[in-house]
Amino acid sequence: MLTIAFDNSYARDLEGLYLPWQGAVVPDPAMVWLNEGLAEELGLDPEALRSPEGVAMLAGSAMPEGAAPLAMAYAGHQFGGFSPQLGDGRALLVGEVLNRQGQRRDIHLKGSGKTPFSRGGDGKAGLGPVLREVLIGEAMHALGIPTTRALAATTTGETVWREKPQIGSVLARVADSHLRVGTFQFFYARQETARLRQLADYTIARHYPELVGTDDRYLAFYHAVIARQMALIAQWVGVGFVHGVMNTDNCAISGETIDYGPCAFIDAHDPASVFSSIDTQGRYAFGNQPVLARWNLARLGETLMTLIAPEDPQQALPEVQSALEAAEIRYDTLRRKKFGAKLGVSEVDDALIDGFLNMLTAQSADFTLAFRKLGQAARGDDAPLIAHLNDDPRLFAWLETWRARLDAADKMDAVNPIYIPRNHRVEEALSAAQTGDLAPFLRLLSAVSDPFTKREGFEDLEGPAPAGWGDYVTYCGT
Ligand code: AMP
Ligand code: MG
């Protein structure tokens, strides 16, 4: 029996921000993959989730007792252009549960059918993009990066039409919440200030409870969201992650990475790396992410000015601006800390970090492998790194400076992953999955779920795509 103790605070408290809605009934819901560990953390019985009732819920086809499925409304800037109404066009919030630690978690579906927010889309998802979100989300989680996580992938028994026919699929994912910058923009654009305040108070209670009831809580909340976002971006940059579609509707107030669409990990280090087919201007290029995160946070700031200074929102402008200036400094500090750990030095400065990264860029050297080879250098063997950097003449002087500061050599391998979801391996795993062979997907998932520990027999998952594999292009179309 599937019994879930739902506690649906969003449905209860945020009138006007959703439409109650049901998923599409699908012909043949079937489980492809279940995250048993996560199910246990949520206090859900994996056996019950595997039962016909459980699979029907995870595929969006039938809801259990206590669920209050709804499509969330939100607005958002997409590539800089504002849409006052986006919303869950292919997704549903099934409900919220408290996990074993008592923390509130959303259970959310992607691909569960059309909603009033579908804007001409079919509301569906294909198996490839669903498994991609599983792989990348689990990798991010294992890398210690805040992220939504996949609970299950199911198939629906339908065909979904994209460039090529796809196996119809639904992703069930779990998040601290799905509140986004775009959620705040939704009420702000409608000048519904009372509801905006209600949303802010709800969000503060849910994610920043230490601020409940304090004076100046909206400004403090803004600082707190900025802090989490800057920490998140420093983590992304530290593992070579490119989100690809950092629109304000994909910027989570909880500080989690959300919406794995056209994302990718870099092989060769290059701040200009762009993978998404629609990011023709390079707005969301690897090296632009800190700037674009601040741009998104400026949009959040605009909405909060009406709460910080209700009489005259413009009065709040200097405070919002100085919060954004502090964000830049905060990011630089967090980046230094992240790269300091990766380099094994506690006394770190930008010259040391950029000296190394610039050599990687100049040599088109693989980012992830470079830090493992630096770990070997820390243990006395420079040869692999020298070869990796094609004997870059700057390396010898750099190594000397670095070595003089190296004080955490033994910790480097615990922060520099061996296994990331390399683009060519992800594509290989997804292609096999489309033909019914899940083995490469499961093998890659197992490697990226334990990314710091070298394993026999997984050598093929360590390196970048072979030369000639070509430029990698990603698509939004889940
Ligand atoms: P995303 O790229 O996931 O951030 O989605 C941006 C917006 O497009 C959201 O409002 C989605 O719900 C909507 N959307 C994306 N794909 C579809 C689809 N196949 N059907 C309906 N809406 C979609
Ligand atoms: Mg989105």
pLDDT in tens, the chain (478 residues): 899 999 999 999 999 999 999 999 999 999 999 999 999 999 999 999 999 999 999 999 999 999 999 999 999 999 999 999 999 999 999 999 999 999 999 999 999 999 999 999 999 999 999 999 999 999 999 999 999 999 999 999 999 999 899 999 999 999 999 999 999 999 999 999 999 999 999 999 999 999 999 999 999 999 999 999 999 999 999 999 999 999 999 999 999 999 999 999 999 999 999 999 999 999 999 999 999 999 999 999 999 999 999 999 999 999 999 999 999 999 999 999 999 999 999 999 999 999 999 999 999 999 999 999 999 999 999 999 999 999 999 999 999 999 999 999 999 999 999 999 999 999 999 999 999 999 999 999 999 999 999 999 999 999 999 988 888 998 876 5
**DSSP letter string over 389-440?**
TTT-TTHHHHHHHHHHHB--GGGGGGTS-S----HHHHHHHHHHHHTT--HH
Model-wide pTM > 0.85: yes
Residue with tokens 């001409």: 120
The confidence score (pLDDT) of residue 477 equals 66
Distance CA 196, CA 288 (A): 30
Instruction: Give the Cβ contact number of residue 472 at 10 Å.
Output: 17
The confidence score (pLDDT) of residue 209 equals 98
DSSP state of 66: T
Structure tokens at 98: 């408290």
Structure tokens at 104: 């509130």
Q: Which residues line ligand 1 (CB under 6 A)?
A: 86-91, 117-118, 121-124, 245, 249-250, 259, 261, 476, 478
Contact (Cβ atoms closer than 8 angstroms) between residue 371 and residue 416: yes
What is the per-residue burial (b if ≥16 Cβ within 10 Å, else e) of 83-118?
Answer: beebbbbbbbbbbbbeeeeeeebbbbbbbbbbbebb
Contact (Cβ atoms closer than 8 angstroms) between residue 422 and residue 383: no
The confidence score (pLDDT) of residue 161 equals 95
Q: Which atom of ligand 1 is nearest to the CA of 123?
A: 20
Closest residue by CA, ligand 1 atom 2: 476
Contact (Cβ atoms closer than 8 angstroms) between residue 374 and residue 412: yes
Phi, psi angles (nearest 5°) of residue 73: -95, 140
Contact (Cβ atoms closer than 8 angstroms) between residue 260 and residue 153: no
Collapsing DSSP to helix, strand or coil, 88 comes out as coil
Distance CA 184, CA 296 (A): 12
The confidence score (pLDDT) of residue 478 equals 58
CA triple 276-279-280, angle to 5 deg: 120
Distance CA 123, CA 114 (A): 4
What's the gap between Cα 195 and its chain centre? Answer: 28
Which numbered ligand comes closest to the C-alpha of 168?
Answer: 1
Which numbered ligand comes closest to the C-alpha of 261?
Answer: 1
Structure tokens at 325: 């200036």
249 as an active site residue: the answer is yes
Phi, psi angles (nearest 5°) of residue 268: -65, 145
Collapsing DSSP to helix, strand or coil, 307 comes out as helix
Q: How far is ligand 1, taken at its centre, from the CA of residue 112, in Å?
A: 12
User: Long-range contacts: 161-166, Cβ < 8 Å, 24+?
Assistant: 161/122, 162/126, 162/477, 163/477, 166/126, 166/127, 166/128, 166/434
The confidence score (pLDDT) of residue 249 equals 98
Q: How far is ligand 2, taken at its centre, from the CA of residue 129, in Å?
A: 13
Structure tokens at 15: 């009138």
Catalytic residue among 249, 259, 267, 413: 249
Q: How far is ligand 1, taken at its centre, from the CA of residue 83, in Å?
A: 13
Q: Which atom of ligand 1 is nearest to the CA of 477?
A: 16
Q: How far is ligand 1, taken at its centre, from the CA of residue 295, in Å?
A: 22
